[in-house]
Amino acid sequence: MNKLEFKAFFYAIGDYSRFSILSSLAKRDLNVSEITAMTGIEQSNVSHHMHCLLNCGFVNVRNDGNKHIYAINPEVRQTVDSIISHIASYKKQIISCDIANKAYISKVIK
Amino acid sequence: MNKLEFKAFFYAIGDYSRFSILSSLAKRDLNVSEITAMTGIEQSNVSHHMHCLLNCGFVNVRNDGNKHIYAINPEVRQTVDSIISHIASYKKQIISCDIANKAYISKVIK
DNA sequence: TATAAATATGATTGGCTATTCATATACTAT
DNA sequence: ATAGTATATGAATAGCCAATCATATTTATA
């Protein structure tokens, strides 16, 4: 594995908004409005993320009138599921992990 | 899965330097000098990364004289292996993924 | 054709963090 | 003790990128 592959993979999947979108799409195909409603991410922001996910081949799109319906790539669905279970098994340690959480926690506390 | 867990997980494992260190540790236990030699990452930088990985429970450490020998957490070894194979299967798509690669590629080209 | 609805695009900005540099600490050996 | 080796710590900087805002494009409907 080289740095290029690694960077691209984690860039695409390692963002919480994009991962949330992929998790939603793992359940069923969705158009942009539905993604916006389910994730709470603002419309234009969703579009930016879809552009990225589409460009990376993580999702596919088909048009139904003026709605753009996105579907997750089956391989990616598997990866998403796998990461979810990895995080679940890693959960125990996360409480003690102040470095990784520092930034996020400080935000939440504010 | 919540945002906190996700962020912490990807913070720790989603950095190429830290992932490289974990990959090296997946082969065998290593002290800091050895990690520096194997990865090419500068000593103080390695120390910073080890502090993070240790804090997150991704690695453990034992002392042998003035050498600090780091060992990967078995669960994490499995996660690392799994991610490597996910990236391998994702490799096909990566060529067409200009968004994720833009920053990195533009650096390499310069 | 005018209005509305759905989605995309482009530019900007603020926050996060990996790296670097300088230095400190800890242990070893002579 | 003192010099050398190994590792850690703290502060500062520079680059990256998600989110936002404003606006454009496309399709539907009246």
Q: What is the pTM of this model?
A: 0.90
Q: Nearest-CA distance from A96 to chain B in Å?
A: 7
pLDDT band at B104 (very low <50, low <70, confident <90, very high): low
Q: Does the CB of B81 have a partner CB in chain A at under 8 Å?
A: no
B49 pLDDT more than 90? yes
Note which residues in 9-68 of chain B have CB less than 8 A from chain A: 9-12, 14, 16, 19, 51-52, 55-58
Enclosing domain of residue B87: 3-109
Place of tokens 């993924």: B97
Q: Are B90 and A75 in contact (CB under 8 A)?
A: yes
What the block records as the tokens of A45 is 């922001």
Count how many Cα atoms sit within 13 Å of the Cα of residue B26 in the half-sphere of its side chain: 16
% of residues, chain B, pLDDT over 90: 75
Name the 3-class secondary structure at B28.
Answer: coil
pLDDT the model gives residue B100 = 72
Q: State what percent of residues in chain A have pLDDT above 90.
A: 75
Residue A97: the pLDDT is 77
Give the domain CATH number at A77.
1.10.10.10
B8, B58, B75 member nearest A101 (Cβ): B8
C1’ C27 / CA A61, Å:
61
| pLDDT, tens digit (0-9, with 9 covering 90-100), for A34-55 | 999 999 999 999 999 999 999 9
CA geometry: angle at A100 spanning B47 and B28, to 5°? 45
What total number of domains does chain B contain?
1
Cα–Cα distance, B51 to A102 (Å, whole number)? 14
d(CA B18, CA B6): 17
